[in-house]
Amino acid sequence: MLERIARDRVATLFLVTVAVLSLVGLAAPGFLSAGTATIIWSNGLVLMLVALGIFPVILTRNIDVSGGSILGLSAVVLGLALNDGFALPLALGFALGAGIFAGVVNGLLVAGLGVPSIVATLGTLGLFRGVMLITTGGEWIEELPEALKSLGAKSFGGLSIMGIITALVIVAVWWFLRSRRGRWVMVTGDNREAARHLGLPVRRIELLAFTWAGAMYALAGITFAAQIGFVPNQAGNGIELRAIAALVLGGISLLGGVGSVGGVVIGVIFFTSIDTSLVFLKIPAYWNDLIGGAMLLGVLLIDGRLRIALEARDRAARYRRGSQAEQKSRPLEDAA
Amino acid sequence: MEPVLAELDSVSKSYAGIPVLKRVNFSVRAGEIHALLGGNGAGKSTLMKILAGLVQASGGDVRIADAPLVPATPAQALAMGLYLVPQEAHIFPNQSVLENICIGLPKPAAAYRARVQELIAQIGVSLSPETKAATLEIADRQIVEILRGLVREAKVLILDEPTSALTPHEVQTLFARMQGLRAAGHGLVFISHKLHELRAVCDRITVLRDGNVVLSANMDQSTDSDILTAMSPGVTELEARGAGRQTSSEAVLALDALSGEGFVDISFDVRRGEVLGLTGVVGAGRTELAETLVGLRPRTCGDVMLEGQMFRANSPSDAVRQGIVHLSEDRQQYGLFLEAPLFWNASSFVYDRLPFFLRPGTERKRFARYREMLGIKCASPDQPAGSLSGGNQQKVLLAKCLVAEPKLLILDEPTRGVDVGARNDIYRIIEELAAQGTSVLLISSDFDEVVRLSDRIAVMAGGHLAGELPGGATTDEISQLAFEAREVEHA
């Protein structure tokens, strides 16, 4: 049992999260409640959507650091459209379209022109943020309509509409990765040359991964605007790195080909729980980054050491088995 | 005459202005096995990659099953019923063996499980479909590639040196599968450097040299010497070293009951200026033994003496400092720095002996010395190592080993995937080294090679030392020792 948990990053992280939450519960009575759970879920929505976006990109052994900028751009498109009097569904469509367009730009740069993804998305990180600032002229977009804010407000059993959509997205990604096409995404990152050799459309797969990412950043942008009711210039700034950290924590390999949706979800929830706990413990918010970073390193280090130890043991066992099988065959050999 | 399944019509290809293929004609008919032969850099692989849609021809026509369609992508070539089993296996390390084989097929992997298991049983290898591919040895990865080709039942199946990692028994069963496909009307292309293998199964032969077809004939109408002359004029088969050469009796390396991962209780010694052939089938524990000696794997018990001193290495570089240099069989992983200039590669074993501020001039000169000695064909010492052909890369690896001036040189499969010309060069180099007093531990599963080069032969089977033979022993004697344990395992 213990061993299975040690082998499974998702399970390890789940237990660590439960342990952290219980400790906080001891220190701050009233913390452990359904209410806190919905707070953590809703606080983590934006990060969750960004992480779900980057997830397939990382599975294909690429990286996308332009998420924060695309989030900001989509939010600005949404805000401007609403303030110009467009209906909410139409404005949402524009925002989603902007995210998808930006994702396609990233995808074409990487899959079409063969620019290394870190270079391409570092470029578009600046580019999209620039487009956003020029569009707004550096102004914040305020006084967003109530209709938008209601998307982020708790309505169904403590969940907001965006919260429910996010849950559906998680199920969809889980289902997709179990499909044959989902496997294609995994193996493209595992060994791109082999995937090409076996006739998989690797470039199309990469393009689609970046496009998906763009769409998710747009959803994150919509959620962001709905939750806080205005769009500041720095909307989404730096969130891509937090999302990547959450993914790594959830066992998604930056070398591609390894990772599960469970890992994404638990990674994000872990980060958000820490932030939320600090509020309950009345620790000043500027401690968040330090504690989050230390927790990340701690979990990764312990997990890495455990894994090395287990692998060494497995290897020894394999060879021991090998020599036992050999010894069993010895008498036969003597007879022959 | 059987219909032509795939045809290349005066196909040309050049890379950066350098022609690799010059108006080459090549065809595969239904129900034939077509041998494709040629030295490294002759253009075989490029030709087959064009057929498989992995590389685009610069000129000429490619037709598959009479469709006047050029496969522009691997997906199209696969859809047209063509599969290329490449020389270096393409593996998805994080997926199971079954997924590795079935990725890209129209149905989910589970639908092919029974078929895959049947093929595994037929070929007679021990391989579980559930194993994670990252844990597979090189030989098993190659088998996964072959299984991919067999499961796909491609109308045209190209096998690029499929036998280099197989044992003789597995080679025979692979041949039987190939003949079965031929009888069913498939067309096969078989690339190999081993003439006797080609003779065993092939109907037609095409020989490439420097991008030209220099021989195209029925297999039974061409003699071995025709083929060898066509392939590399002026190269003749080397004489065997012969037994009874005078060697010193002084042991340079002595193993005393050494055990480790995959082998138990191994004792032998390697004498000064001697080539000791260490052979056996894949999985016998030879590579593990070599890796344990240089500190890549843990040692469980036993002693090693180097020139009378207790020897223990914590890492390969530690072994180099003490005088043992190891050339790994896994050239992809432990081989060259492909992007780095040749002379960097040549110095890479001895960085700790170089001055703090490097002197590229001295390094280049040193490389030039070995370049001449080993006959490395290259334009400049500043050329990236990846731009050389396989045989030349192997020579650069040898140069890198020799720069370290080893007392004992461990060569693991030094001629795998190397053409006849370069192989003869490597044989000559090994002989010269031994004559100059370097001891060589030659690990090879090519029994002919072992017989030709070794002063003495140690045979391993199933992790044990099966026996020691004097130089001049026959391949039959080696097989007898090497297969004893293996056959029992199968029984």
Domain containing B259 — which CATH number?
A: 3.40.50.300
C-alpha distance from A174 to closest chain B C-alpha (Å)? 17
Q: What is the pLDDT of residue A333?
A: 38
Evaluate the CA torsion angle A292, A294, A295, A299 in order and state its sign: positive
Q: What is the pLDDT of residue A134?
A: 95
- CA-closest candidate to residue A306, choices A5, A16, A14, A20: A5
Lowest mean pLDDT among B67-81, B305-319, B370-384, B475-489: B475-489
Residues from chain B contacting residue A319 (CB–CB below 8 Å): 261-262
CA B241, chain centre distance (Å): 22
Looking at residues B278-288, what average pLDDT do you find? 84
In this structure, are B196 and B264 located in the same domain?
Answer: no
Nearest Cα residue in chain B from A202: B75
**Cβ-based neighbours of B471, under 8 Å, separated by 6 or more:** B241, B242, B243, B244, B245, B454, B455, B456, B457
For residue A262, give both structure tokens: 């469970």
Whether the CB of B95 is below 8 Å from some CB of chain A: the reply is: yes
Q: What is the pLDDT of residue B246?
A: 63
- CA-closest candidate to residue B119, choices B97, B94, B86: B97
Q: What is the pLDDT of residue B446?
A: 81
| Nearest neighbour of A333 by CB, restricted to B84, B90, B485 | B485
C-beta atoms of B262 and A326 within 8 A: no
User: Which of B231, B264, B281 corresponds to the end of one domain?
Assistant: B231
Strand partners, A159: A156
Looking at residues A85-114, what average pLDDT do you find? 96
pLDDT tens readout for residues A246-303: 999 898 989 998 999 999 999 999 989 988 888 888 888 888 888 888 888 888 888 7
Asked whether the predicted pLDDT for residue B112 surpasses 50, the reply is yes
- Interatomic CA distance for residues B111 and A50, integer angstroms: 36
C-beta atoms of A183 and B99 within 8 A: yes
pLDDT tens readout for residues A137-193: 989 998 899 999 999 888 877 789 999 999 999 999 999 999 989 999 999 999 998
Q: What is the mean pLDDT of chain B?
A: 84
Residue B151 in contact with residue B106, Cβ under 8 Å?
no
Q: Are strands B275-279 and B187-191 parallel, antiparallel or unpaired?
A: unpaired
Instruction: Answer yes or no: is B202 within a domain.
Output: yes
Q: What is the pLDDT of residue B471?
A: 82
Asked whether the predicted pLDDT for residue B380 surpasses 60, the reply is yes
- CA-closest candidate to residue B271, choices B438, B413, B402, B453: B438
The boundaries of the domain holding residue B288 are 251-490
Place of tokens 């479909």: B129
In this structure, are B374 and B484 located in the same domain?
Answer: yes
Q: What is the pLDDT of residue B67?
A: 67
Residues from chain B contacting residue A326 (CB–CB below 8 Å): 264, 462-464, 485
Looking at residues B449-475, what average pLDDT do you find? 87
C-alpha distance from B319 to closest chain A C-alpha (Å)? 23
Query: For the purposes of burial, counting CB atoms within 10 Å of the CB of B170, is it exposed (0-12), middle (13-18) or buried (19 or more)?
Result: buried
Whether the CB of B464 is below 8 Å from some CB of chain A: the reply is: yes
Q: What is the pLDDT of residue A330?
A: 40
Instruction: Answer yes or no: is B236 within a domain.
Output: no
pLDDT tens readout for residues A202-224: 999 999 999 999 999 999 999 99
In this structure, are B201 and B318 located in the same domain?
Answer: no
Residues from chain B contacting residue A191 (CB–CB below 8 Å): 90-93
Instruction: Answer yes or no: is B288 within a domain.
Output: yes
In this structure, are B204 and B291 located in the same domain?
Answer: no
Backbone φ and ψ for B277, nearest 5 degrees, come out as: -85, 125
Looking at residues B259-265, what average pLDDT do you find? 88
Q: What is the CA radius of gyration of chain A?
A: 23
Confidence of residue B491 (pLDDT cuts 50, 70, 90): very low
| Nearest neighbour of B91 by CB, restricted to A194, A315, A319 | A194
User: Which of B197, B231, B265 corresponds to the end of one domain?
Assistant: B231
Nearest Cα residue in chain B from A321: B262
Per-residue CA distances from B354 to B319, B345, B360, B384, B403 (Å) = 17, 13, 10, 21, 12
- Interatomic CA distance for residues A242 and A45, integer angstroms: 13
Instruction: Answer yes or no: is B364 within a domain.
Output: yes
C-beta atoms of A190 and B95 within 8 A: yes
Confidence of residue A42 (pLDDT cuts 50, 70, 90): very high
- Interatomic CA distance for residues B259 and B362, integer angstroms: 42
pLDDT tens readout for residues B6-21: 888 888 888 767 788 8
C-alpha distance from A271 to closest chain B C-alpha (Å)? 27
Q: What is the pLDDT of residue A331?
A: 40
Instruction: Answer yes or no: is B245 within a domain.
Output: no
- CA-closest candidate to residue B159, choices B149, B151, B169: B149
In this structure, are B45 and B166 located in the same domain?
Answer: yes
Whether the CB of A190 is below 8 Å from some CB of chain B: the reply is: yes
Between helix A67-83 and helix A117-136 the angle, nearest 10°, is: 20
In this structure, are B224 and B75 located in the same domain?
Answer: yes
Whether the CB of A332 is below 8 Å from some CB of chain B: the reply is: yes
C-alpha distance from B421 to closest chain A C-alpha (Å)? 30
Above 0.85 for ipTM, yes or no? no
Instruction: Answer yes or no: is B160 within a domain.
Output: yes
Instruction: Answer yes or no: is B55 within a domain.
Output: yes
pLDDT tens readout for residues A49-87: 999 999 999 999 999 999 999 999 999 999 999 999 999
Q: What is the pLDDT of residue A1?
A: 60
In this structure, are B469 and B349 located in the same domain?
Answer: yes
Residues 379 to 418 of B: which have CB under 8 A from any A CB?
A: none
Confidence of residue B416 (pLDDT cuts 50, 70, 90): confident
C-beta atoms of B485 and A183 within 8 A: no
Interface-testing mutation among A307, A323, A328, with chain B (most B C-beta atoms within 10 A): A323
Confidence of residue B68 (pLDDT cuts 50, 70, 90): low
In this structure, are B221 and B260 located in the same domain?
Answer: no
- CA-closest candidate to residue A239, choices A49, A36, A13: A49
Residues from chain A contacting residue B160 (CB–CB below 8 Å): none
Place of tokens 């939450």: A21
Q: What is the pLDDT of residue B486?
A: 45
Looking at residues B186-215, what average pLDDT do you find? 88
Asked whether the predicted pLDDT for residue B485 surpasses 60, the reply is no
In this structure, are B276 and B201 located in the same domain?
Answer: no
Whether the CB of A191 is below 8 Å from some CB of chain B: the reply is: yes
Per-residue CA distances from A206 to A64, A113, A117, B86, B472 (Å) = 11, 12, 10, 24, 57
Count of structural domains within chain B: 2
By percentage, how much of chain B surpasses pLDDT 90?
A: 22
In this structure, are B150 and B208 located in the same domain?
Answer: yes
Looking at residues B102-127, what average pLDDT do you find? 86
In this structure, are B208 and B257 located in the same domain?
Answer: no
Structural domains of chain A ordered from first start: 2-306 (1.10.3470)
User: Which of B175, B202, B231 corresponds to the end of one domain?
Assistant: B231
B490 vs A127, which has greater pLDDT?
Answer: A127
Asked whether the predicted pLDDT for residue B433 surpasses 50, the reply is yes
Residue B141 in contact with residue B131, Cβ under 8 Å?
no
- CA-closest candidate to residue A216, choices A162, A259, A253: A162
Of A44-53, B97-106, B314-323, B407-416, give the range with the top mean pLDDT.
A44-53
Nearest Cα residue in chain A from B462: A326
Place of tokens 């914590």: B314
Instruction: Answer yes or no: is B255 within a domain.
Output: yes
C-beta atoms of A197 and B95 within 8 A: no
Residue B238 in contact with residue B424, Cβ under 8 Å?
yes
Q: What is the pLDDT of residue B240?
A: 55
Whether the CB of A194 is below 8 Å from some CB of chain B: the reply is: yes
Asked whether the predicted pLDDT for residue B490 surpasses 50, the reply is no
Q: What is the pLDDT of residue A296?
A: 84
A48 vs B340, which has greater pLDDT?
Answer: A48
In this structure, are B186 and B265 located in the same domain?
Answer: no
Asked whether the predicted pLDDT for residue A102 surpasses 60, the reply is yes
